[in-house]
Structure 1
Amino acid sequence: MRNLHDHAWRTRAECRGLPLWLFYGFDDGGRPDHTASCEQIALRICQRCPVAAECLDDELRHVNQYGIRGGMTAEERRSERRRRKRRARQVREVAA
């Protein structure tokens, strides 16, 4: 089992060193900028990232309501979180 606090994977992230606004929907002045083009760029970067799965797992544990993380939008992550909770509940029910 992976150490939940081990973030060494971040050093291999494709987004490392890129501006945060690209992934979190803010322009350089800290103003909201939810342009579809930024979102699409961020998603393409995540698609080629070697640690996207680790990023998504980390995000699902910490619940950030904004931005692109692990190759998913905030809405997609909410759905994924619900799906994982349902699956875990089903596994527990079968094991009982």
Structure 2
Amino acid sequence: MTHKQTLNLLWLLLVALTLGGAFLGESSEPGLAVTLVICLTMAFKGRLVIDHFMELKTANRTIRNLMRAYFYVLPLVTVLVYVFSEHFARFTTL
């Protein structure tokens, strides 16, 4: 498989994951399981974009690791905000 074909298949996978996440978000009841699935999808999609479309697989290790950390920390923070939403609401009220 050529590099162009691989990128095309990965792009289709990203589109399918995006549409699946949108469908899941619109059709299911909010809950921890749905939040976890969406956050895992977010991390997976971020890793695909970083490694294949931004071509950071061969970039400076520090830059690559910082970008990867962003796509692991953001889903983790999303889950924590969902789980501890009452506490965060108290912190943000006057």
TM-score by length of 1: 0.30
Larger Rg computed on CA atoms: 2
Q: Which has the higher helix share?
A: 2
Greater RCO (Cα-Cα under 8 Å, separation 6 or more): 2
TM-score by length of 2: 0.30
